[in-house]
Each structure stands twice: as structure tokens, then as C-alpha cells.
Amino acid sequence: MLHQAADQVWAAASTDARSPLHSLGLGVFLAAAQVAELLPDGFEITSPDPLEDNPLTLLRQAEQLTRPLLLASPQAGLSPVVVAICDLVRETRDYGF
């Protein structure tokens, strides 16, 4: 979901090389990388193609999926990622998605 959201934000920014959306897309991509870094070695990421084409909705869905993980397994490193995703939801909403 995070990769798809980053791709969608970058697509929206593609018409303007100086668009601040490029930075937003990078932030979403980095959050995806942080999540991937927390996965155990050998873990295969399998995800169906999201049916959603709105980056804000994808980010909200990703945030909803990560919240229960904090309660079930207060793993070091996960909390900052969830906070980053929440911040990205706010930023994406501010850009009008």
C-alpha cells in the first residue's frame, strides 16, 4: 500500500519538477522502506494490488493495519514508523488528495 501511495503521489507531481509532492512521495517511500526493514529475514511481502487509487486512502489503510501491531507486539522501531505514517496522512490530506 505504501509503495502504491508513493507511486500515485509521484505521478501527481510528474507534471512539475519543482512540485513539493516529490518530497511527499519520497516520505511515503521511506516509510515503506522502514516497514520492510522491520520484517524478519526471509519474510516475503505478498500484497494484492490495491483497488484504491487515492494515496490518502492507501495511507489511512496502512496506518490502520499498523496500529494493532503496536499493541500486540511493542517492537522497538515500529512506533516511529506508525507516527511517520500518521504524519504522512496529515500531509497528504493537506495537499488535497
pTM for the model = 0.84
Buried b (16+ CB within 10 A) or exposed e, 66-96: beebeeeeeeeebeebbebbeebbebbeeee
pLDDT tens, per residue, the chain with 97 residues: 899 999 999 999 988 888 999 999 999 999 999 988 887 788 777 766 666 789 999 999 999 988 777 666 666 678 888 889 999 999 999 998 8
